[in-house]
Structure 1
Amino acid sequence: MAGIYDFTATSLAGEEVPLKRYEGQVLLIVNTASACGFTPQYKGLEALQRQLGPRGFSVLGFPCNQFGKQEPGDAAEIGEFCSTNYGVSFPMFDKIDVNGGSAHPLYQYLKSEKSGLLGSSIKWNFTKFLVDRSGKVVARHAPTATPEGLTKEIEALL
């Protein structure tokens, strides 16, 4: 069976990135959007990255336009928005689908590992998956869970 490090994703810059690059790190994988009520969570995600990154942690952001068409931009627009408005330094990837037949294989895997309260489908932007250093998906958090509220859980894995 595939594991988290068997997947690749395309960065906003168009580079194919093997997730094996993040092996041994604690990861918080988040489907993001630039025009969502939860968009200000970018600030908290960036704070986690800056605070915990030196200890072997990384946020991985995956823009998605499947919820209310809240990520309409192309890769350049998404990158500019994240940089200008939130100073995002963590890896951001190209826009993907997280649900349905065209869902990115990584998200198919994440959902199979940790179901939500209402089943496996992602319900909205800023759903968060926490992955430990061995690549095991250890938690799934709803969009309403703030990045700041996950600090202790992440630190316990570091």
Structure 2
Amino acid sequence: MKNLILMVAVVALFACSAKSENTESAKALTDNKEQATEKSFYDFSMTTLDGEKVDFSQYKGKKVLVVNVASKCGYTPQYEDLQKLNEEYGDQVVILGFPANNFGGQEPGTNEDIKKFCTSNYGVTFTMFEKISVKGVDKHPLYRWLSDKSLNGWNDQEPTWNFCKYFINENGELKQFFQSKVTPMDDEIIKLIEA
């Protein structure tokens, strides 16, 4: 009888714990969704690796390429092409890098580590932001906007791995999603920039 009572108590404890976790997850999801609702791309503001607050309204009238990046990924060499794109087309497109540790733990470093890695290995000069989450219940509101068609108008595709790309036109409209394998210097991206 004691064992039965103990077992019932343990099951009840696990049920309460699971309910609490689910409630917290649901709250995080609701909070992030509320932060992204009713926003345009230009309503966001975020902090760079240097600690500078950037208001996205400064990108009005400019084409923007948003990329979730990581330092220890098979696609990490794309930093080189992102920098090349910045150097060759920087007057026509703004590149925004968002470090994230969502895929295979491939961005474990601090913001300072990430900055040092990007600068010393790839000479990155395009804007890099503080590390965020790009999927899951703690998905940053920007990525919620990018991957929820009720917010951006058409796209439900969230990043499937590091170095996925979102192309925003000069009116702040999300126009295209590119998987990781599409390199920054791909003809499809160049055509959108030059259009």
TM-score (norm 1): 0.92
1:13 to partner: Cα distance: 1.3
* Structure with bigger RCO (C-alpha 8 Å, 6+ apart): 1
**CA distance in 2: counterparts of 1:13 and 1:147, whole angstroms:** 24
Specify the code of the residue in structure 2 equivalent to 1:138.
K
1:23 to partner: Cα distance: 1.6
1:103 match: 139
Higher helix share: 2
> RMSD across aligned C-alpha pairs, in angstroms?
1.2
Q: Is the 8 A contact 2:146 2:158 kept in 1?
A: no
**CA distance in 1: counterparts of 2:194 and 2:109, whole angstroms:** 33
Q: Does 1:79 align with 2:115?
A: yes
2:166 match: 129
TM-score (norm 2): 0.75
**CA distance in 1: counterparts of 2:42 and 2:158, whole angstroms:** 22
Residue correspondence of structure 1 range 1-158 to structure 2 within 5 A: 1-55=38-92, 57-112=93-148, 113=152, 115=155, 120-149=157-186, 150-156=189-195
User: Helix, strand or coil for the counterpart of 2:39?
Assistant: coil
Q: For residues 3-44 of structure 1, give each alpha carbon's deviation from its aligned partner in whole angstroms, at most 9, with x where no partner exists.
A: 000011111012221111222110000000000000000111
Specify the code of the residue in structure 2 equivalent to 1:99.
K
**CA distance in 2: counterparts of 1:155 and 1:26, whole angstroms:** 10
**CA distance in 2: counterparts of 1:79 and 1:17, whole angstroms:** 17
**CA distance in 2: counterparts of 1:102 and 1:19, whole angstroms:** 21
User: Helix, strand or coil for the counterpart of 1:36?
Assistant: coil
Greater Cα radius of gyration, structure 1 or 2: 2
The unaligned stretches of length 5 or more in structure 1 are none
The unaligned stretches of length 5 or more in structure 2 are 1-37
**CA distance in 2: counterparts of 1:146 and 1:120, whole angstroms:** 18
